[in-house]
A and B are shown apart, each in its own frame.
Chain A
Amino acid sequence: MMRSRTVTFIICFLMWMLLSFRLDWQHLAVGLIVALLAALAMGEMFTDSAFKWFEPKRYLWFFVYIFVFTWECFKANIDVAFRVLSPDLPINPGIVKVKTILKTETALTFLANFITLTPGTLSVDIDRGEGELYIHWINVRTQDVEEASRIIVAKFERILKEVFE
Chain B
Amino acid sequence: MNEIISLLFIVIGAMFDLFGCVGLVRMPDIYNRLQASTKCVTLGTCSILFGVFIKYGFTAAGVKALLCIIFLLLTAPVTAHALARGAHKSGVKLWEKSVCDKYSETGS
Q: Which residues of A contact B (CB under 8 A)?
A: 15, 18-22, 73-74, 76-77, 80-81, 83-85, 89, 91-97, 109, 112-113, 116-117, 120, 122-125, 134, 136, 138, 140, 143
Q: Known pairs A116-B81, A117-B77, A122-B31; list 11 more (Cβ under 8 Å).
A: A18-B64, A74-B43, A77-B16, A77-B43, A80-B39, A89-B26, A92-B97, A93-B32, A94-B99, A94-B101, A136-B34
A sample of 7 inter-chain contacts (CB < 8 A) reads: A21-B63, A80-B23, A80-B35, A94-B102, A113-B78, A117-B43, A136-B31
Interface residues on chain B, number (Cβ under 8 Å): 46
Asked if residues B98 and A93 are in contact (CB atoms below 8 Å), the reply is yes
A interface footprint on B68-108 (CB within 8 Å = 1, 0 otherwise): 00000110111011001100100000110111111110001
Minimum CB–CB distance from A80 to chain B (whole Å) comes to 5
Partner of B16, one of A20, A22, A81: A81
Minimum CB–CB distance from B68 to chain A (whole Å) comes to 10
Q: Within 8 Å CB of B16, what residues of A?
A: 77, 81
Minimum CB–CB distance from A23 to chain B (whole Å) comes to 11
Asked if residues A94 and B94 are in contact (CB atoms below 8 Å), the reply is yes
CB within 8 Å for A97 and B99 given contacts A21-B63, A80-B19, A122-B31: no
Minimum CB–CB distance from A139 to chain B (whole Å) comes to 9
Rounded to whole angstroms, the CA-CA distance of A140 and B31 in the bound complex is 14
Q: Within 8 Å CB of B80, what residues of A?
A: 116, 122
Rounded to whole angstroms, the CA-CA distance of A21 and B44 in the bound complex is 26
Partner of A140, one of B23, B81, B99: B99
Asked if residues A73 and B84 are in contact (CB atoms below 8 Å), the reply is no
Rounded to whole angstroms, the CA-CA distance of A113 and B74 in the bound complex is 7
Rounded to whole angstroms, the CA-CA distance of A21 and B56 in the bound complex is 14
Asked if residues A122 and B99 are in contact (CB atoms below 8 Å), the reply is no
Minimum CB–CB distance from B100 to chain A (whole Å) comes to 4
Asked if residues B23 and A84 are in contact (CB atoms below 8 Å), the reply is yes
Q: Is B10 an interface residue (CB 8 A)?
A: no
